[in-house]
Amino acid sequence: MWAPYFGNTGRRTRLFKTTAVSEVFEKIPKERHLSLCPCKSKKAYRDCCLPFHQNKALPKTAEALMRSRYSAFFFRLADYLVETTHPDSRGDSLQRELEDTIHHTDWKFLTIVSTSKGQEEDKRGKVEFIADYYWDGEVQQLHEHSRFRRHQGNWKYYDDKG
């Protein structure tokens, strides 16, 4: 009975709102911590994006933030995606847009094409990537030039106009 998850029902909304970053441990079985990270870093999830998703560490580079956001899309951690979007770009509807789309998408592969700045000493950075995914079962590809900026010292996703 998965259909109600995709309809505009109170049930789906309620389920979505339980996806808090603090509940990552409950949402993701511990076995996954040892498996390879969805961001294709070839590291274990535990040693890659998990500490960011748990708010125990902060990405030091724009690319690391980009990868952690891809993994957050993969695991449908909407709160993390809102939190890591720059406040100037967040918009009132971001949470709702994520609610409307995040459960339709299955992320399959991430390729980092290039990066520009976005290092520890930088305030801005760009990451070009290609992400393959299924939207309601249809293969799609997202080729984006993302821009990242620091906010209160931490890397945030700014926009896709890089």
93 Cβ contact partners less than 8 Å away, ≥ 6 residues apart: none
Our CB check for Zn ion shows the closer of 16 and 52 to be 52
If one asks whether residue 48 binds Zn ion (CB under 5 A), the answer comes out as yes
Three-class DSSP category at 124 = strand
Is residue 131 a contact partner of residue 121, using CB atoms and an 8 Å limit? no
In the numeric block, which tokens belong to residue 107? 């992320």
Shortest reach from residue 109's CB to Zn ion, in Å: 13
For residue 42, the 8-state DSSP code is S
If one asks whether residue 49 binds Zn ion (CB under 5 A), the answer comes out as yes
If one asks whether residue 72 binds Zn ion (CB under 5 A), the answer comes out as no
Shortest reach from residue 23's CB to Zn ion, in Å: 19
CB atoms within 10 A of CB 125: 23
Report the first-to-last Cα separation within the chain, whole angstroms.
41
If one asks whether residue 41 binds Zn ion (CB under 5 A), the answer comes out as yes
Binding mask 91-130 for Zn ion (x = CB under 5 A): ----------------------------------------
Shortest reach from residue 12's CB to Zn ion, in Å: 27
The number of residues that bind Zn ion (CB under 5 A) is 7
For residue 85, the 8-state DSSP code is B
- The stretch near Zn ion (CB under 5 A) out of 62-70, 82-90, 105-113, 142-150 is 62-70
If one asks whether residue 24 binds Zn ion (CB under 5 A), the answer comes out as no
Three-class DSSP category at 105 = strand
Shortest reach from residue 21's CB to Zn ion, in Å: 16
Is the dihedral angle over the CA atoms 81, 78, 103, 64 positive or is it negative?
positive
Q: Which residues bind Zn ion (CB under 5 A)?
A: 37, 39, 41, 48-49, 67, 71
